[in-house]
Each structure stands twice: as structure tokens, then as C-alpha cells.
Amino acid sequence: MAEHATERARFTEMRARALTNVLLSGREDLLVQDQSGFDYGIDYLVTLLSDKPGLRQFAVELRATYSPVTADTANKVLEPALQGMARFGPFPYPTTLFYFTMMEPQSWYTWVMEPAERSDGTMALEMREKADSRPLNEETLDDIIARVHRWYDFSFGTKLEGKVARPARTTKSGAKAAKSEVVITETDSVTFDYSEALLQAPEQLAAARRCSSYIVKTHPNPLPTVTGWWDLEEDRRKIITLMITDSVTRKSATMRFTLRDVQNPGHVYRTINEHLGQILRPG
């Protein structure tokens, strides 16, 4: 009996992944990256391909069941899943949870990080504590994508108005650094700069900039004396480095990431926090 249950669970998971691939990969405006091999709290990172400005992505986590369920049942079943995802959050991009049923064509989705429109005309990403299951199909996927675009339209529009120009700084080698284009939401926030090598690598640069913005917006404490320097290793261009330095303690720490690491800002944020205590401590 246990072996039969394990086989059914394996089939259910494989079927859910197949259905997700059919739904997402069948569209020419989406680029789907499998993240299930990493403990990041998401299964897929989806990039929206369009002429609109900026890197636009949303995340998908999967759940599945063998038996058919109603929306109310799905909400109850998915509540622990939302709680589990909360320990990885907040996520820096809109995030959804897909819930597939094997015994009928009906599937569901609920927002995890939902683009929410406020009464004053602004938007925010809000992390849901309770599931709000809705039918998942091609039409509702259109709605998901439209809401993701609205979030980035608002987000990038705000950034263009609030961009702060920062003076270039000099690296240890004496080369002039590129000016940072990170949005600084507070005057006492950390400043990030990018090497010339990274500026020549669009995919890595976009991921690094998204991480920088996420760190600035997420860290609960002011970091006026901390700077970050993004670079690519000369001998291994696929490795992205981030050196954080505190101007008061004169301490620094360098972290090495793959592109997949940097495509998950929450992972980079947790890694930086592991080093901040050390470099900010006097002595």
C-alpha cells in the first residue's frame, strides 16, 4: 500500500509539472526557468518577453492532488503551503501558487505575492496569508500576466521619476566604476555600483540590479555607510561577485554567486545578512 501511494505521489508531481509546462511554455511571450533544484521556495521563474521596459518576471510554486477538489477545499489545503512559502519571502516579484488535480481538468491558482492596487492609485506587492483559489486556465493566465505587467508598469514608472544619480567610485585597481542606477528609497540606504565587465553582460547585470533594489527596499535597518560592488570574475565570467564594504569599520566581505543564485534576490539577501553583522562590528 505504501509503495502504491508513493507511486501515485510521483505520478501526481510529474503530471503537475507537465501541465505547467504545457500552460506556460506554449506561449511565445514567456521564458520559463525551472528552479525546483534549488531550495528557494519556488518551482519556476517566468520572464515576460515584451517591448515594455525592464526585466519583468513572476514566480510559480506547484502543488497537486490526485482527487478533485472544490475552491473551498483548495483554500484549506493550500493554507499550509502559503505558510511554508512565507519563510522564503517576501519575494521581490509577483508570485503565484498553481494547484493541479489529476482526476479532472479543473485546476486552481492563488496569489502568494499579489500585485494589489490601492485606493490612492499606487500599487504594492502584498503577501497573502490565506489562499484565494481561482480557476487556472489559458484565460486566467492572461489575467495573471496582465496584472504582472501592471505591477512593473507602476514600479518602473516610479523608478524613472525617483532615480538618484550617484557619483562614480574607484575600484581597488583604479578603474572608474559605473554609476549606480539602483533606486534609493531612503537617503541612508546602501549604494551599489557595477563593474564595466558586468555592464557588458545584460542578463547578469539585470539580475544584479534587481537584487540591489530588493536589498534596499527590504533591509529593516539604515545602512548609510555600506556600499556594494558587483563584478564578474575575470577567469570565470559566469561567476558574479558582490563585495560589501563598511566605510566606518573598514571591513569588507566578498560573496560569489552563479547567475541562478542572483536570479533569486531572497537568496542573495540572506547571504548578505550573514556577512553584515561581521563587517559592521567594530574591532
Output the domain CATH number for residue 246.
3.30.160
Residue at 238 is within a domain = yes
- 119 and 35 in a common domain: yes
- 235 and 151 in a common domain: no
- 240 and 196 in a common domain: yes
Grid coordinates representing 37 are 533544484
Residue at 177 is within a domain = no
Report whether pLDDT(30) > 50.
yes
From 30-34, 69-73, 159-163, 242-246, the region with the lowest mean pLDDT: 159-163
Residue at 171 is within a domain = no
For 235-280, what is each residue's pLDDT tens digit?
656 799 999 998 888 889 999 999 888 888 888 888 888 888 888 8
Report whether pLDDT(145) > 90.
yes
How much is the pLDDT for 237? 61
Q: Which residue has the higher pLDDT, 173 or 266?
A: 266
- 117 and 205 in a common domain: no
From 129-133, 179-183, 193-197, 206-210, the region with the lowest mean pLDDT: 179-183
- 235 and 103 in a common domain: no
- 239 and 136 in a common domain: no
Residue at 55 is within a domain = yes
Residue at 165 is within a domain = no
How much is the pLDDT for 235? 63
- 220 and 100 in a common domain: no
- 130 and 47 in a common domain: yes
Residue where a domain terminates, one of 160, 179, 200: 160
Residue at 173 is within a domain = no
Domain holding 108, by residue range, is: 2-160
Residue where a domain terminates, one of 160, 176, 201: 160
How much is the pLDDT for 53? 82
54 φψ region: left (φ > 0), alpha (ψ -120 to 50), beta (else): left
- What is the pLDDT confidence band of residue 177, given thresholds at 50, 70 and 90? very low
How much is the pLDDT for 8? 64
- 76 and 197 in a common domain: no
- 155 and 195 in a common domain: no
How much is the pLDDT for 166? 35
Q: What is the pTM of this model?
A: 0.56
Percentage of the chain modeled with pLDDT above 90:
17
* Rounded average pLDDT over 9-31: 81
Residue at 96 is within a domain = yes
Based on the structure, what is the number of domains in the chain? 2
For 193-241, what is each residue's pLDDT tens digit?
888 888 888 888 888 888 888 787 777 666 778 889 999 986 656 799 9
- What is the pLDDT confidence band of residue 165, given thresholds at 50, 70 and 90? very low
Residue at 226 is within a domain = yes
Tell me how far apart the alpha carbons of residues 270 and 112 are, in angstroms, rounded to a whole number. 20
- 97 and 14 in a common domain: yes
How much is the pLDDT for 176? 38
Give the DSSP per-residue string, 210-230. HHHHHHHHH-SS--TTEEEEE
- What is the pLDDT confidence band of residue 175, given thresholds at 50, 70 and 90? very low
